[in-house]
Structure 1
Amino acid sequence: MKKVTLKKNLSAAMISLLALSSFGGTVHGESKTGINADAAILVNAETGKIVDKYNEDQPLGVASMTKMMTEYLVLEAIDKGKIEWTDTYKISDKVYQLANAPGLSNVPLRAGDAYTIKELYEAMVIKSGNGAAIALSEAVAGSEGEFVKRMNAKAAQLGMEHYKFVNSSGLSNYDMLGMHPEGTGVNDENMVSAEDMATLAYRLIKDYPEVLKTSGTNYKYFRKGTDEEYLMKNTNALLKDRAYSYKGADGLKTGTTPFAGSTFTGTAERDGVRYITVILDAKDQYGQPSSAERFIQAAKMLDYGFTQYETVQYTLDDTETKDALPVQDGKEAEVKITVDKPIKVRMMKKEIKQAGVELKLDKDKTGEDGKLQAPVEKGEKIGELVLKNEKEAEYILDGLQRDQKVNVYASSTVEKANWFVRSARNIGEFLKDIFG
């Protein structure tokens, strides 16, 4: 009992220290959805646009959600041909001890036995196997300490800002039986902000969408048909036929430790629209950490995105010019124009009436009067169709597109009229102005 009390006191002290340090973020107001957690965020998985947030840039404990970074590095190693799914890895003594330690989430692994990368990966993603995660870190980087360096380097490369990875599994270092990675301390914890967890999920889904097939697997046997056969049950209770089943849910990762509380990074897709939500240290109505609440509150945030927002589509038909533009000094008076795709954007339903699009011509394609100037080549970009009157949006990464726009092209060629024709037109315009 003393050990548990010490952990909780240590965790509270570390959180307080981090909140006062420059490493911490600024606490923000309540979320639109009234989430009861230390931090939360809801993000459009296609655009990276933030839909709802609370205390999103405060680094907090993430527990086994750490494994999402391990997943990313394993999938990257597979993609680059560094390892293959069929490769086998012989379990080290460290992995054996931690994979069979009482009280830790695991698929039991035998000392000295070899397991395929695929087996270890599925055990990590579906069952949240800590030993399997550490084994994969050794397989990819040679040691968990070296792997941790890669985790932090990859976080920076992905655009994350508030993070600290200290092991590959998400365990508290003091639970690693004295075998925490070299270069880290016994009291170190994996710390990531809600926004950065959403960023990691966003990049994981974008770069390796196959991750969802595994993270969305409800049950699977480990080494089926052998004497090591073990039924793995996914820790994600939003999956189909589970306690908090949510339509379209297919990932990504839960996490639970005394330090981090109950955490969850979830995602769901409906009618081609996907959202990502992160809940850090969910609380019940009494302010106590709650395993169930992380799923209840994640579903609440996802509902907000799916029900309060609508996909709106805009084309040239929504402009005054429609699909043709007048051409100054051209052999033809106008040119047909087109876009390669419509503008599609998720907007709050109550904001749709105030929104719209406008055509903005490139300055080097227009004359002093702002009109399109001949000559115009077929297929040439002449401007952009731009969304207007949308409230300023926030995105999880600075590099993501902040203006909803698409390119506008000429559908045909309009050559410049000769001097005689242009002069005659100018005289005609002059006379029209004088005599009406």
Structure 2
Amino acid sequence: MTRKPRISRLLPSLLATAILAGSAVAAEAATHAKPKPHAAARKAKSAPAEQAMTTDANGQSIPVLENKAWVLMDFNTGQLLASSNPDEPLPPASLTKMMTSYLVEQGLKSGKLKPDEMVTMSESAWCRGGKGGDSCMFVPLNEKASLMDMLRGVVIASGNDASKALAEHVGGSEAGFVTLMNAEAAKLGMTKTHFENADGLPGANHKASARDLAVLAAAIIRNSAEYYPLYAEREFTYNNIKQGNRNALLYTDSSVDGLKTGHTEEAGYCLVASSKRNGMRLISVIMNANSKQARADQTRVLFNWGYANFEEATPAQAGAALTTPKVLYGVAPEVAAGIAKPWTLVVPKGQAAAVKTEVTLNPGLEAPIAKGAVIGKLVAVANGKALGEVPVIALADVERAGFFLRIKQRIAGWFSK
């Protein structure tokens, strides 16, 4: 007796074969129906969108960035070239560690701390099996590491454990170190900043503004010059664990040499960076971007915009005589006047040559005058707009003349009127 095949057993196999065949035909048809776009068209499609711009209160065209706050500051002058919400206190995440490292660097600079002194990893500082995410130097509990290794653990690996251990070592306790942090912030003029810990983990009143963080970055570059190269190191290995610096710009922009990244859910993605091109250094701060890529891209935008739109001008040289005003009753009838320190301004590109200076002297200069005494001011002007001013000082001492010489000068003054 011949058995008939059961259709129910064959049906799923037949349906699968039909579906696969249909898909292949459809794919082939689509390939022939839609030719691949020309290479140039594909390149144009993937090109980044043009940077959005807006106009600030001064009529200046500045970038539009998707974050809560940002600043671009010139290092030499402290001028803010552009900003958005620069003074809003925000959670700084691990940008906090810039103050931690700065205090340690200043301790090293003063000699109070030694590079090779040993720092203990206490239980309160220890990363318990990686507690605190990947922001750990991973020093084992109760073991010691040199202060310089701990400093690298803060700057490069962004170690919460290294930050707390150093805080306890320098301040006696983390609370004691936080007192030092806030005192130094006040000294630097960081008026919108308050620290509650040494590592940047969330705290109810743990806040800093973008402007304040730029000021702190400038202090590190200027006052911790011996240790600033640490911020450009791309990796750090401790306990056989190699960690890369989280500042992506160190790998893609040779002009960038620091400083620090930060991230928590509350703070978003943050980055303080510095770049030096053709002798001009800029500092950028990005707070609360939505990704690592965004904070890096936004920093690139700011640096490229800043260098494309501004240049430095030197209105006058330090120590050079700008004028020689007359001095009453002095052993010398006049004194050379100038500025004490190098003076640099940042001006819109192409306007450096248009910067002029105007000297205003205090009336009735009378001896004695000490070298370095302020006797007026120097104002820089471009296109009728005052750009800034600095004190004018006496470049030499002028002693007071004797009685008879003063009488002679007074009589000569009567006849010269």
**Do both proteins adopt the same fold according to a TM-score greater than 0.5, normalized to the shorter chain?**
yes
Q: TM-score, normalised on structure 2?
A: 0.72
CA–CA distance in structure 2, aligned partners of residues 417 and 189 of structure 1: 67
Aligned length: 355
* 1:108 positional shift: 1.7
- Please tell me whether Structure 1 or Structure 2 has the larger radius of gyration of its CA atoms: 2
State the SS of the aligned residue for 1:110. Answer: coil
The answer as to 2:135 corresponding to 1:143 is: no
1:286 maps to which residue? none
Preserved contact between residue 95 and residue 131 of structure 1 (Cα < 8 Å): yes
Q: Please give the per-residue CA displacement for 1:67-109, whole angstroms capped at 9, x wherever unaligned.
A: 0111122223334444322111222223333462273322222
- The answer on whether the counterparts of 2:332 and 2:399 sit within 8 Å (CA) in structure 1 is no
| Alpha-carbon spacing, 1:376–1:39, altered in 2? closer, same or farther (3 Å) | same
CA distance in 2: counterparts of 1:378 and 1:57, whole angstroms: 40
Over 3 Å counting, the alpha-carbon distance change for 1:425 and 1:389 in structure 2 is closer
Q: Which amino acid aligns with 2:393?
A: N
Which region of structure 1 is more displaced relative to structure 2, 55-64 or 333-342?
Answer: 333-342
Q: 8 Å contact 1:63–1:255 — kept in the other structure? A: yes
| Equivalence for 2:275 | 268
CA RMSD of the aligned region, Å?
A: 3.7
Identity of aligned pairs, percent? 28
Looking at structure 1, the residues matched to 173 and 80 of structure 2 have their Cα atoms a distance apart, in angstroms, of 36
Q: CA deviation at 1:331?
A: 11
Q: How far 1:274 moved relative to its partner?
A: 1.8
The reply to whether residue 255 of structure 1 matches residue 271 of structure 2 is: no
For 1:345, give the aligned amino acid. Answer: L
Q: Against the structure 1 CA distance between its residues 84 and 420, is the aligned structure 2 distance closer, same or farther, given a 3 Å change threshold?
A: closer
Specify whether residues 98 and 151 from structure 1 end up closer, same or farther in structure 2 by C-alpha distance, changes over 3 A only.
Answer: farther
C-alpha change, 1:211 and 1:147, in structure 2 (3 Å) is same
Q: CA deviation at 1:193?
A: 1.0
Question: Where do 1:283-432 residues align within 5 Å?
Answer: 289-315=290-316, 343-349=343-349, 351-352=351-352, 355-365=355-365, 383-384=375-376, 386-389=378-381, 403-407=389-393, 409=395
Higher deviation after alignment, 30-39 or 380-389: 380-389
Q: 1:409 to 1:254 in 2, by over 3 A?
A: same
Out of 95, 109, 125, the position equivalent to 1:65 is 95
* Aligned partners of 2:332 and 2:398 also within 8 Å: no
Equivalent residues in 2 for 1:114-125, closer than 5 Å:
114-125=144-155
| Residue correspondence of structure 1 range 84-103 to structure 2 within 5 A | 84-98=114-128, 100-101=130-131, 103=133
Q: After the TM superposition, which of the residue ranges 247-256 and 338-347 deviates more from structure 2?
A: 338-347
Indicate the structure whose relative CO is greater, using CA pairs within 8 Å and at least 6 residues apart. 1
Alignment pair present for 1:235 and 2:246? yes
SS in 2 for 1:96: coil
| 1:133 Cα offset (Å) | 1.0
Asked whether the 8 Å contact 2:119–2:169 carries over to 1, the reply is yes
Contact 1:250 1:267 (C-alpha < 8 Å) held by counterparts: yes
* TM-score calculated relative to the size of structure 1: 0.69
Distance 2:89 2:63 in 1: 21
Q: Give 1:262 shift.
A: 0.6
CA contact (8 A) 2:322 2:338 kept: no
Change (3 A) 1:231 1:410: same
User: How far apart in 2 are the matches of 1:379 and 1:141?
Assistant: 42
Following superposition of structure 1 onto structure 2, how do residues 40-79 of structure 1 map, counting pairs within 5 Å?
A: 40-79=70-109
Query: CA separation in 1, counterparts of 2:332 and 2:110?
Result: 54
Letter in 1 for 2:115: W
Matched residue type, 1:77: G
Q: 1:382 to 1:204 in 2, by over 3 A?
A: closer
* Paired AA for residue 84 in structure 2: Y
Asked if the contact 2:119/2:145 (under 8 Å) is kept, the reply is yes
The aligned amino acid for 2:284 is T
Deviation at 1:217, TM superposition (A): 0.9
1:336–1:412: 8 Å Cα contact kept in structure 2? no
Match of 1:200 among 208, 216, 228: 216
Q: Say which is worse superposed, 83-92 or 93-102, in terms of deviation.
A: 93-102
Consecutive unaligned residues in structure 2, runs of 5 or more: 1-55
